Amino acid sequence: MTLAEEIARLKEERSAVLLAHNYQRPEVQDIADFVGDSLYLSRQAATTDRRVIVFAGVRFMAETAKILNPTKTVLLPDLGAGCALADSITAEELKRWKGEHPGAAVVSYINTSAEVKAESDYICTSSNAVQVVAGIPAEREILFLPDMFLGDHVRRITGRRMHLWVGDCPVHAKMRPEDVEAARRLHPGAPVLAHPECGCSTAALPAVDRVLSTDGMVRFARSTDAPEVLVATEVGILHRMRQENPRTRFLPISEGTVCPYMKAIDLTDIRDALALDRYRIEVPEATAGRARRALERMIAS
């Protein structure tokens, strides 16, 4: 029996659903029940009727699934699948920051720990950050965390007064406008898509054509008739783009844009997770209850 067949059998036996982020290894994406961005996967986690959720992604995504679905078993097949951006702010640091801005609305990116979510008024993802901030009453001051590049992008589009936490994703932040310009010289006329966590998405906006979440990029890929498209995000996304549209060449701004956390999980880990019931993600109800309010508001919007 192949690993994929074993996983399919175990999923049925355990009534499990396999969710995979767009950056996961190709072979993981290929056997997942749902593949998508953070918002899409949160919605799937919130509505599944399966008893077990296996999250092929990173820890904050599995925690989000557990918060939204406290009675289900949520498994993260490798506990090393963290997120450097989520680690860039702690709940204690956020409490201190809130103390300096009493009354401000706290908007946290979904790439945060459950404890940070519990201290937040709103949660957003790269798909809906502009919409979430634009919906906050105009007179309210806003604290946005932890990604400064996404925050700067949202601030520019909404024109809102926002304080930004100085955090970033090391994988995306290192992509600079110069890298985009160099790629453009090699592929003149190719549209450039960038994730809002990228260093290149803000410092020189004209450098890129579209700032999109990973699902936004996949939708663009599906409908484009451009012969070549340049992509500034984690290279795992290229698998899906190429599958969705084999007529276009999808090229990374840099082949080295690889998130080690998103590559931690392989098929053996997923098989073992289902067979050995590991690694269960738990969030204490005192934390989960407070985080849930902000998350449910986002899911419903």
Residues forming contacts to ligand SF4 in the complex (CB under 6 A) are 58, 83-85, 111, 169, 171-172, 197, 234, 259, 261-262
Minimal distance in Å, beta carbon 38 to ligand 13P? 3
Residue 213 binding ligand 13P, by CB under 6 A:
yes
Triad 277, 280, 283: Cα angle to 5° = 160
Contact 146, 110 (CB under 8 A): no
Minimal distance in Å, beta carbon 179 to ligand SF4? 16
Q: State the residue for tokens 């950056």.
A: 23
List strands edge to edge, sheet with 34-36.
34-36, 16-21, 52-56, 73-75
Contact 77, 54 (CB under 8 A): yes
Minimal distance in Å, beta carbon 117 to ligand 13P? 15
Residue 269 binding ligand 13P, by CB under 6 A:
no
125 interacts with, out of ligand SF4, ligand 13P, none, CB within 5 to 8 A per kind:
ligand 13P
- Give the gyration radius of the chain's Cα atoms: 19
**Per-residue DSSP letter, 48:** -
In the complex with ligand SF4, the residue whose CB is nearer, 119 or 147, is 147
261 interacts with, out of ligand SF4, ligand 13P, none, CB within 5 to 8 A per kind:
ligand SF4
In the complex with ligand 13P, the residue whose CB is nearer, 201 or 213, is 213
In the complex with ligand 13P, the residue whose CB is nearer, 10 or 40, is 40
**Residues between 159 and 188 that touch ligand 13P (CB under 6 A):** 169
In the complex with ligand SF4, the residue whose CB is nearer, 169 or 270, is 169
Q: Is the dihedral angle over the CA atoms 253, 255, 256, 258 positive or is it negative?
A: positive
Task: Determine the size of the site formed for ligand 13P (CB under 6 A).
Answer: 11
Residue 108 binding ligand 13P, by CB under 6 A:
no
**Residue of the chain from 108, 214, 245, 257 that contacts ligand 13P (CB under 6 A):** 214
The SS3 of residue 300 is: helix
In the complex with ligand 13P, the residue whose CB is nearer, 73 or 127, is 127
Dist CA 224 CA 217 (whole Å): 10
**Per-residue DSSP letter, 86:** G
In the complex with ligand 13P, the residue whose CB is nearer, 38 or 245, is 38
Say which residues have a Cβ less than 8 Å from residue 252's Cβ, sequence separation at least 6.
Answer: 230, 231, 232, 235, 238
Distances (CA, A) of 271 to 63, 164, 301: 20, 41, 35
Q: Which residues bind ligand 13P (CB under 6 A)?
A: 22, 37-38, 111, 125-126, 169, 195, 197, 213-214
